[in-house]
Amino acid sequence: MSDLKIPFKITGLIISLIRSIILGLLGVFLLVKVSNNDWIILIMVLFLMLLALIGPQQLLYRITGVPALILTDYGLTNGKGKLLVKWDEIESFTFENIKFSEYLMVKVQDVDSLINRSKGIGKYIYILNKRIGRSRKFTIISIGSLGISKLKLTEELNRRLLIE
């Protein structure tokens, strides 16, 4: 079976760019008007500036052709080809609403193998999920950011899970 590369949706990209501009302007405003050598404000400004980079990063991915999600024969991978979850590790998948957005959630059979394979910040996110009680359920991606319908994604996920 061939890989299915799912691109970012254009409308989600535009919203992300607008959000980035607003966060960047808010960061500059806080830096110029509010900061009086206050470390908390400086930390908030740095955090806002980091969040403001998400939109341009997604635009760069779109221009260079990096997909949002790839369904391979091996499992779910992110756009850069980094394995998120293997098909044989997935017990089930659902779509859940979290703060006004719908997300693809997967329930894995063995969280520890997923944690052991992960590196960087992803590993710590998996460990945090395990500790707060969502031990086997992980958020993969917002459905609203994908250039594929929910029905088509569901069909493709079911088809690939049945083959395993």
Asked if residue 3 is part of any domain, the answer here is no
Higher confidence at residue 140 or residue 153?
A: 153
Task: Say if residue 82 is in the same domain as residue 107.
Answer: yes
Q: Are residues 94 and 23 in the same domain?
A: no
pLDDT at 154 over 70: yes
Report how far Cα 80 is from the mean position of its chain's Cα atoms.
12
Residue-level pLDDT at 155: 92
pLDDT of res. 135: 63
Q: Please give the full DSSP string across the chain, using - where no structure is assigned.
A: ---EEEPBPHHHHHHHHHHHHHHHHHHHHIIIII-SS-HHHHHHHHHHHHHHTHHHHHHHHHHHT--SEEE-SSEEEETTS-EEEEGGGEEEEEEEEETTEEEEEEEES-HHHHHHH--HHHHHHHHHHHHTT-TTEEEEEEGGGBSS-HHHHHHHHHHHHHH-
Q: Are 60 and 73 in the same domain? A: no
Residue 1 lies in a domain: no
* Per-residue pLDDT tens digits for 57-103: 878 877 888 888 888 888 888 877 677 788 888 888 888 888 888 88
Identify the pLDDT of residue 44: 81
pTM, entire model: 0.70
pLDDT bracket for residue 151 (50, 70, 90): very high
pLDDT, position 63: 82
State whether 82 and 60 are in the same domain: no
Give me the domain span that covers residue 56.
Answer: 8-64
* 152 within some domain: yes
- How many Å apart are CA 24 and CA 19, to the nearest integer? 9
Give a yes or no: residue 2 inside a domain.
no
Residues 157 and 93 in one domain: yes
Instruction: Report whether pLDDT(164) > 60.
Output: no
Write the pLDDT tens digit of every residue in 102-133. Answer: 888 888 887 777 788 877 777 787 787 777 76
Query: In terms of domains, do 107 and 74 share one?
Result: yes
Residues 20, 81 share a domain: no
Domain count across the chain: 2
Tally Cβ neighbours within 10 Å of residue 54: 14
Q: Are residues 80 and 157 in the same domain?
A: yes
